[in-house]
Amino acid sequence: MKLEIRRNLISVLAFVGFIWLIFLINVPLSLTDWNLVQNYGLKPRSVSGLIGIFTMPFLHDGFEHLLGNTIPLAVLLFMLSVTRDNARRILVSITVLAGLFTWVIGLSSPVVGASSLVYGLTAYLITAGIHERKLVSAGTAILVVILYGGTLAWGLLPSAAKRVAWDAHLLGAAAGAVFAHYTLRAKSSKSVSSPDTKPVTSTTEVVSESPAVF
């Protein structure tokens, strides 16, 4: 158990550390035409901006921007990793889905930062707690709301547009909620439709008792 938690923590720190590495690399590049934010940020409805679907969470426009995303991202990734066996698939899916939503109907340009992923993870964990109604899922959802519910809520409003890309936040949250809803609903429907046992057959001569086949 301790080894698994340690591995999850190392994976989270490696992911966040990679984002910091990209930021440090871009510090000198930002003074040239090779600025990663301008060249690889997500630009809605632009062919050249498609790459931003995958690069957006790794690019940040300033130290404060990165610092503001680091702690909530690390906490949410760790919570995801210790409560979900398929955490990596969830992470990739939310990243791509949030990027697609933003590319199709986003308003800001270019869009960079891991905040869209932060909102996506937040929405996923809360939606998962509502759908599954299990102790771990519900407890995680409640903890997420307590830690970040009030702080992140203002970032979903257009009034925050002067400081942040509120549309990317909203679409990131939508991506997390939609992904959780459809994947967990499909899983629940499958488990409900699967019969627990098969009827026991018998004859007038021999009564056969055998384990149910699943």
Do the domain assignments include residue 204? no
At 170-188, the pLDDT tens digits run: 999 999 999 999 998 766 5
Q: What is the DSSP secondary-structure string of 77-124? A: HHHHHHH-TTHHHHHHHHHHHHHHHHHHH--SSSB-STHHHHHHHHHH
Range of the domain at 47: 2-193
Do the domain assignments include residue 16? yes
Q: Which residues of the chain have pLDDT under 70?
A: 160-162, 186-214
Do the domain assignments include residue 214? no
- H or E element, residue 130: helix 115-132
Candidates 96, 112, 109; CA nearest to 175 is: 96
Q: Which two tokens stand for residue 184?
A: 């967990």
pTM, two decimal places: 0.84
Do the domain assignments include residue 77? yes
Do the domain assignments include residue 211? no
CATH classification at residue 15: 1.20.1540.10
Do the domain assignments include residue 56? yes
Do the domain assignments include residue 212? no
* Structural domain count, the chain: 1
Do the domain assignments include residue 93? yes
Taking the C-alpha atoms of residue 102 and residue 117, their distance in angstroms, rounded to an integer, is: 12
At 65-90, the pLDDT tens digits run: 999 999 999 999 999 999 998 999 99
Contact 200, 210 (CB under 8 A): yes
pLDDT at 161: 59
